């Protein structure tokens, strides 16, 4: 009641508060991150270890099992899963929900370090990563050209495109995939080494000791202090061929010239063994997987990348940059659909209010509660760290009809008091006092329905808590609007109207509504006169509905259509990547033939 008195005594304050809510809401909507789902934290840490050339059985015995035993003793571990493949061991450590993953990751690293000396020599350093659903790329940028080869495309993507994409706000990383990586190869001639009494390790040590970048101290000359360093790194093949394996020696009084790398090996400017081939529209190319920063707005990041691609510096005109995968497309469609449904729901709610209240003034007063409550809800969502996703927008869409209930009750009671002949201020205060407690209790009971969501855990909590919070925020704001803005607007613009004064369409609607009231009264009298039959009918309908439940399927998420599909295929273990590419080419031809 005191809220209504405050609003009536300080109309300017209520106006300023409403405008402030609208301004903050506009800023919050602009800064709220837009994503498909809420932030889902899965308590999973993966430990990967690479051991080139080892088979799955050897990997399991020598690497996977020791790591499993070590990490299973970490506090909070729920279960440990592992996969041993050719040359790689992958151990997945699942923790209980609520475990601090930063501490868990540090503990796993410590335990792996303790057993590192028991693992086979020659393995790569095991590394562990936290599972993050944001590691799904927001876009994949395909880089192709009909004039540049794979090595040139890789160098262009790695040295030119990647750094510029990573400077875009919201982008965490852009990783290059496919292409060929430049590699200077030293192909040793075995017979030439034997003839000079040298071994392969002599060549390896000579090349390693000659390819250095070493600081050499400072040189002070006059007023200057110079930083001196030795850079003997090879950028071309010719200097590498001149590296001396063995200096000149004297044998039997004869001077033997020095042995150089070029005397016993062939130097080639080649590429690393290719393990990943990317094809773009039937031609080889490269791509960049672009990841966004946690909490960044997916749609804004994608829009920024699309705007930046045509303006990247250093990209030749014969190179085409195009987006082959766009995560924001489905997000845009889902968000747009929910926004459309919410707007439609609000308009339909206003239309129904107009039909039943038969007053444009009353409809306008009640309709104010919908946008004002929703805009204020965006402010609360922003400050609680939520995002605009299908669950928060779904909560708003579900609560649109409920947002006007409090204001309708308030307005209808005020309208009744005005019809009794009271002045506006007295009618507003008396009506507000009568419905204050019913409106409060009604709002609380609706919010309490979502209280059990707080006791959920795991992924279900991450998904449904934002939905419950959104509806609760909207209902709380609609309550405050009904206790402040609605009475104030009624005091300013609402006027007393009597049913018998209405003519034309309004009078026709009023008469039809009165007929509905009479029909409802007759039905209510019949129900009260046949109580046992009514209760038995309700119970029978309830039991029948329980029988239908077993025909309803269950799944985690409903089927969705993202207007794209992915073909996954596996060739036999040991198949060369070039042979796998041939299979991919045949699949491409089949898809083109099917889709035209």
- Pair 364, 371: CB distance under 8 Å: no
End residue of a domain, out of 497, 516, 550: 497
DSSP string, 348-364: HHHHHHHHHH--HHHHH
Give pLDDT, residue 102. 85
3-state SS assignment for residue 293:
coil
Give pLDDT, residue 91. 93
96 & 173 share domain:
no
Give the chain's residues under pLDDT 50: none
- Pair 366, 351: CB distance under 8 Å: no
Closest CA to 263 of 195, 185, 211, 184: 195
150 & 260 share domain:
no
For tokens 């590192």, the residue is: 116
Distance linking the first and last C-alpha atoms of the chain: 69
CATH number reported for the structural domain that contains residue 262 in this entry: 3.30.2090.10
461 & 355 share domain:
yes
481 & 437 share domain:
yes
* Pair type for strands 127-130 and 77-85: unpaired
Give pLDDT, residue 227. 82
506 & 412 share domain:
no
- The boundaries of the domain holding residue 530 are 502-561
Give pLDDT, residue 230. 77
CATH number reported for the structural domain that contains residue 145 in this entry: 3.30.70.1320
Give pLDDT, residue 84. 92
Q: How many helices (H) and strands (E) does the chain have?
A: 22, 17
Give pLDDT, residue 148. 87
553 & 580 share domain:
no
Give 435's contacts (C-beta < 8 A, 6+ positions apart).
409, 410, 413
Structure tokens at 146: 């009909």
Q: How many domains does the chain have?
A: 6
3-state SS assignment for residue 115:
coil
432 & 474 share domain:
yes
Give 257's contacts (C-beta < 8 A, 6+ positions apart).
248
* Pair type for strands 139-145 and 319-326: antiparallel
DSSP string, 304-350: HHHHHGGG-TT--TTEEEEEEEETHHHHHHHHHHHHHHHHHHHHHHH
For residue 218, list its beta bridge partners: 227
406 & 513 share domain:
no
Give pLDDT, residue 596. 67
349 & 444 share domain:
yes
- pTM (two decimals): 0.72
Dihedral-angle region of residue 224 (phi above 0 means left; psi in -120 to 50 means alpha; beta otherwise): beta
Identify the sign of the CA torsion 223, 227, 230, 231: negative
191 & 262 share domain:
yes
Give pLDDT, residue 502. 61
105 & 196 share domain:
no
Residue 172: how many other CB atoms lie within 10 Å: 15
202 & 92 share domain:
no
Give pLDDT, residue 66. 92
């Amino acid at each position: 009641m005191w809220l209504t008195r405050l609003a009536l005594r300080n109309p300017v304050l209520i106006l300023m508060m409403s405008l402030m809510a609208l301004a903050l809401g506009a800023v919050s909507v602009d800064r709220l991150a837009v994503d498909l789902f809420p932030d889902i934290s899965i308590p999973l840490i993966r430990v990967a270890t690479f051991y080139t050339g080892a088979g799955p059985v050897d990997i399991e015995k020598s690497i996977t099992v020791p790591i499993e035993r070590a990490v299973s003793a970490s506090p909070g571990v729920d279960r440990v899963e592992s996969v041993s493949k050719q040359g790689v061991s992958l151990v997945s450590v699942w923790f209980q929900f609520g475990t601090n993953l930063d501490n868990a990751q540090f503990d796993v690293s410590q335990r792996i370090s303790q057993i590192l000396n028991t693992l086979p020599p020659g393995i790569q350093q095991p590394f562990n990563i936290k599972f993050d659903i944001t590691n799904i790329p927001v876009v994949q940028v395909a880089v192709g050209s009909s004039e540049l080869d794979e090595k040139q495309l890789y160098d262009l993507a790695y040295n030119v495109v990647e750094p510029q994409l990573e400077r875009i706000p919201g982008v965490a990383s852009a990783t290059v995939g496919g292409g060929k990586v430049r590699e200077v190869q030293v192909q040793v001639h075995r017979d030439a080494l034997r003839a000079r009494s040298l071994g392969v390790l002599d060549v390896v040590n000579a090349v390693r000791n000659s390819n250095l970048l070493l600081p050499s101290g400072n040189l002070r000359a006059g007023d200057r202090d110079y930083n001196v360093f030795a850079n003997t790194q090879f950028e071309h093949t010719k200097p590498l061929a001149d590296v001396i394996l063995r200096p000149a020696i004297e044998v039997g009084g004869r001077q033997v010239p020095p042995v150089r790398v070029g005397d016993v090996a062939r130097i080639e400017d080649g590429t690393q063994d290719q393990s990943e081939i990317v094809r773009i529209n039937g031609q080889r190319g490269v791509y960049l997987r672009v990841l966004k920063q946690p909490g960044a707005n997916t749609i804004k990041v994608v829009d920024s990348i699309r705007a930046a691609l045509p303006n990247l510096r250093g990209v030749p005109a014969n190179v085409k940059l195009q987006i082959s995968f766009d995560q924001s497309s489905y997000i845009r469609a889902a968000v747009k659909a929910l926004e459309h449904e919410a707007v439609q729901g609000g308009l339909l709610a206003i239309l129904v209010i107009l039909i039943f209240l038969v007053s444009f003034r009353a409809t306008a007063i009640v309709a104010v509660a919908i946008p004002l409550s929703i805009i204020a809800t965006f402010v609360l969502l922003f400050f609680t760290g939520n995002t605009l996703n299908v669950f928060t927008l779904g909560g708003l869409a579900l609560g649109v009809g409920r947002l006007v209930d409090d204001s309708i009750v308030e307005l209808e009671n005020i309208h009744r008091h005005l019809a009794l002949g009271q002045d506006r201020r007295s009618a507003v205060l008396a009506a507000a006092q009568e419905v204050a407690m019913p409106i409060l209790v009604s709002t609380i009971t609706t919010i309490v329905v979502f209280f059990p969501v707080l006791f959920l855990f795991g992924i279900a909590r991450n998904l449904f808590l934002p939905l419950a919070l959104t509806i609760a925020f909207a209902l709380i704001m609609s309550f405050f609007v009904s206790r402040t803005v609605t009475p104030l607007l009624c005091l300013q613009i609402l006027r007393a109207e009597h049913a018998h004064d209405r003519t034309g369409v309004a009078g026709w609607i009023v008469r039809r509504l009165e007929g509905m009231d009479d029909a409802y009264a007759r039905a209510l009298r019949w129900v009260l006169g046949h109580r046992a039959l009514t209760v038995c009918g309700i119970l029978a309908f309830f039991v029948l509905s329980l029988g239908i439940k077993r025909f309803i399927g269950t799944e985690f998420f409903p089927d969705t259509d993202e207007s794209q599909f992915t073909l996954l295929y596996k060739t036999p273990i040991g198949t060369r990547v070039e042979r796998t590419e041939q299979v991919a080419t045949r699949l491409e031809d089949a898809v083109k033939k099917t889709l035209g």
